[in-house]
Amino acid sequence: MNITVVGIGYVGLANAILLAQNHSVTLIDIISEKVDLINQRKSPIQDPYISEYLESVKLDLNATMDQNIAYKDAELIIVATPTDYDPTTNFFNTKSIEDSIEKILKVDGGGLSQIILIKSTVPVGYTESLKRKYKYSGCKIYFSPEFLREGKALYDCLYPSRIIIGFSGILKHPYLKSKIGISEKKALAALFVEGAIKKDIPILYTDSTEAEAIKLFSNMYLAMRVTFFNELDTFASKNELSTKQIIDGVSLDPRIGDYYNNPSFGYGGYCLPKDTKQLLANYKDIPNNIMQAIVDSNETRKEFVVDEILNTKAKIIGIYRLIMKSDSDNYRDSAILGIIERLKDKGVTILIYEPRINQDKLEGLAIIKDVDAFMDMSEIIIANRYHPDLDMAKDKIYSRDIFNKDW
C-alpha cells in the first residue's frame, strides 16, 4: 500500500517507520533538514528506537518536500502536523491540518481515492467539522488518537496500549451509523497491528468525536495524577513528612498502583499542558470543578517550588537540564521553564546547563557547557529530574524527584 505521512515530528516519524516495515511510505515536511536526515537514515529527533530502526531495519521509506511526489499515488494519507494551543482563541491552532488537506485535494484533483487519517491532537468535534467542510470532495476523513511518549514514540507504536479508529459519520441513523466505514476501520487498524511487536492489542472503533475526547480525557487524567502526587508532596514538605513513605503506602493499593506517582515541578512537555487547556476550553458552559482545578494546580505547584528555592537565599541558581524526560531532546513547555520565568524578576542570577542546546544564551540567560564549571558556579542546583551527574554536588541539589524516574 502507498502511504504518505505528513509531518516529521515524533508522531509522524514513529508511525511512518512502523508502517514502512510492510508498506511503501513517503514522509513529507516543510523543513529540508529533516527530509535530508531521513533520506540518510538518520533521526532528526532523540529516540533510541527510531535511530535503531532507521539504521538497521529494512524499511520502504523516503522523505520529500514535493507535494506531487507525496500525494499523487497515495492510497492513505496520515496527517501528523503540530496543533499548538492558542491562548488567544482558547483552542488548538489546526491550520496546519486544513492546509495539508487543501494541498492533498489540489494534487489529487478532488480526493476521490483518498483516505485521510488524522493523528494530530484536535478539539472535540473537529473531525466532524472537517467532514462537513469537505463533504463534496469525496475523501474519507478518520481520526486516530496517539498515546506516544517523547523519546519512546516508536516503542509505543511497537507496543501500543490500544488502537482507536474513529470515523466521522455524517449519517446518524443507528443502523447505518454502525455500518459506515466498518471495513475500512478494520483495515486501518490492521495496518498498525501488523507492524507492531505486541500481540493481542486492544482495538476500539468509535465515532471520531468520541475518539477525540478519549485522547484529551486520557491526558487530563494523567495530568490529574501528576498534580495529585505533587500536592501530596507539597503537603509532606510543609509538614516535614516523608513524601516517599506516604507515596509508597498509597501506591500499594492496587486501585491506585505504583506508577505515574513521582513528584516533579509540574506536568509539562508538548502534550499535557496544551491538551488540558483544550479540554478545559471544550468545557465552556459545562459545569466542572476538577478540570479547572487540574490546570490551576499545575501553576500553584510551580509557585510552591519557586518559594522553596528563594527560601534558600541563594543568589546564583543553576538549572540542571531543560528537557522533561531523560530520553527526549525537547524542552517545549517543560515545567522548568515556568520555574525560570518566575525566578527571572527575583533578583537572582540564573545559569543553565543543557548540553543539547547549541547556543551560549537562552532568553538572555547564560548556558554553561561544562558541567563541572556549572556546579562550581551555582550556589544551588535545581533539577526537575535527578541524574547521577549530580552526585558530585549533592549538598547543592534542590529536586522533588523521589524515585529517580521520569514519572
**Contact of 246 with 232, CB cutoff 8 Å:** yes
User: Among this protein's residues, is 139 annotated catalytic?
Assistant: no
Residues 6+ apart with CB under 8 A from 136: none
Helix (H, G, I), strand (E, B) or coil at 165: strand
Task: Name residue, grid cell 459519520.
Answer: 169
Residues 6+ apart with CB under 8 A from 91: 85, 123, 278, 281
DSSP 328: -
Please give the grid coordinates belonging to residue 125. 468535534
Please give the grid coordinates belonging to residue 264. 516533579
**Rounded Cα distance, 84 and 87, in Å:** 9
Q: Out of 54, 271, 322, 381, which one is annotated catalytic? A: 271
**Rounded Cα distance, 144 and 167, in Å:** 9
Q: What is the DSSP string of 131-151?
A: HHHTTTT--EEEE------TT
Please give the grid coordinates belonging to residue 89. 482563541
**Rounded Cα distance, 145 and 157, in Å:** 12
Q: Please, what is the end-to-end C-alpha distance for the chain in angstroms?
A: 38
Please give the grid coordinates belonging to residue 372. 563541572
Give phi and psi for 331, each to the nearest 5.
Answer: -125, 20
The residues annotated as belonging to the active site are 271
